[in-house]
């Protein structure tokens, strides 16, 4: 895929930070509003995919190493399973929500029926949301970059 026109590139440059911020907002507020790691990750990854469309997959493929994206995805998955293992170590059960009543971080427990929004709640859920978000951004971006690059080159190096 080749580059698109200058207008498209400029506008996607302008929009890109906003999409990323919105994606990160959805990830960070996963425990308060509709959304979470997967949805926010998909939003942020679509922002990255917009760059692929605007700048052409060849250019992106040269700038970004897919193996690095794959390693990031691995790290996201490790973070997720790592939080689960911490639950085993500190809470006594795999996937235990060990932070929720300890008083370290994200530890406030709202009253039942509380309709305000308190960010510092939900125990390990924000951490898991974050890990999943990293994973989804890296994973979806890697899939799209590889597929776009593979469809753009004429002869495969087989």
Partner 1 sequence: MNWFEIITMHSPALIVAVPLLTGFLTPLVSRINDTARNLFAIIMLSITGFLIAILGYDVLTNGIRTYVFGGGNTVVTLPSGLMFHVRIIFEVDVMNVFMIFITIILAIIGIIYSFSFMKKEDGLDKYYTIVLILIASTLGMELTGDLFNFFVFLEISCITSCALIAFWVHKGEALEAAFKYIVVSSIGALFFLFALGLLYAQYNALNMATIANSIQFSIIDQSALVLIIAALAMKAGIVPLHMWLPDSYGEAPQSITFILIAATQASLYGAFRVIFTLYGNVFNSINLASLNLVLTTNTMGWIIIALAIITILVGVFMAFIQTDFKRLIAFAAVAEIGYIFLGIGVRLASKYVQYTGGNATAVAFTEYSSIALNGSIFHIINDCLDIGLLFLVAGAIYYATKESSLDKMGGLARNMKYTTIFFIIGLLAVSGMPPLNGFASKLMLYESTFQLNPIIAIIAVLASIMLLAVFVKVFYSAFMGPEQPKFKEVREAPKGMLIAMGAIVVIIIIFGLFPNLVINNLVQPAANALTNYTTYISKVIPGVI
Partner 2 sequence: MSARNIVAVVMLSVLAVFFILTALMLSFGAPIKYQMDDYIIMHTQNETGTNSAVTTIVFDYRGFDTLGEATILFAAVSGVLMIFRRVKK
Partner 3 sequence: MIYNLPFIIVVAMIFIGLFAVIFKRNLVKIVIGITIIESGVNLFLITLGYREGGVVPIFTSAPADVAENAPGSMVLPVPQALTLTSIVIGVAVLALMLSLIMHIYRHYGTLDVRKIRRLKE
Q: Which is nearer to partner 3, 5 or 115 (CB)?
A: 115
Asked if residue 124 lies in contact with residue 98, where contact means CB atoms within 8 angstroms, the answer is yes
Exposure string over 107-145, b if 16+ CB within 10 A, otherwise e: eeeeeeeeeeeeeebbbbbbbbbbbbbbbbbbbbbbebb
Main-chain phi, psi angles of 121, to 5 degrees: -125, 180
Contact pick of 81, 89, 108, 147 for partner 3 (by CB under 8 A): 147
95 in contact with partner 1 (CB under 8 A): yes
Contact pick of 22, 38, 59, 72 for partner 3 (by CB under 8 A): 38
What is the contact mask toward partner 1 in residues 42 to 81, using x (rule: CB under 8 A)? ----------------------------xx--x--xx--x
Q: Which is nearer to partner 2, 21 or 147 (CB)?
A: 147
158 in contact with partner 1 (CB under 8 A): yes
156 in contact with partner 3 (CB under 8 A): yes
Asked if residue 130 lies in contact with residue 142, where contact means CB atoms within 8 angstroms, the answer is no
């Amino acid at each position: 895929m080749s580059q698109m026109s200058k207008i498209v590139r400029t506008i996607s440059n302008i929009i890109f930070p906003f999409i990323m911020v919105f994606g990160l907002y959805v990830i960070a507020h996963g425990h308060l509003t509709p959304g979470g790691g997967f949805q926010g990750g998909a939003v942020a990854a679509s922002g990255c995919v917009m760059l692929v469309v605007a700048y052409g997959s060849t250019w992106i493929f040269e700038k970004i190493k897919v193996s690095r994206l794959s390693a990031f995805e691995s790290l996201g998955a490790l973070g997720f399973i790592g939080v689960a293992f911490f639950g085993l170590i500190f809470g006594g059960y795999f996937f235990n929500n060990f932070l929720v009543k300890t008083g370290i971080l994200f530890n406030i427990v709202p009253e039942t029926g509380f309709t305000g929004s308190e960010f510092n709640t939900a125990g390990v859920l924000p951490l898991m949301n974050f890990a999943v978000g990293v994973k989804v951004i890296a994973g979806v971006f890697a899939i799209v970059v590889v597929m776009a690059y593979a469809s753009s080159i004429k002869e495969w190096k087989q």
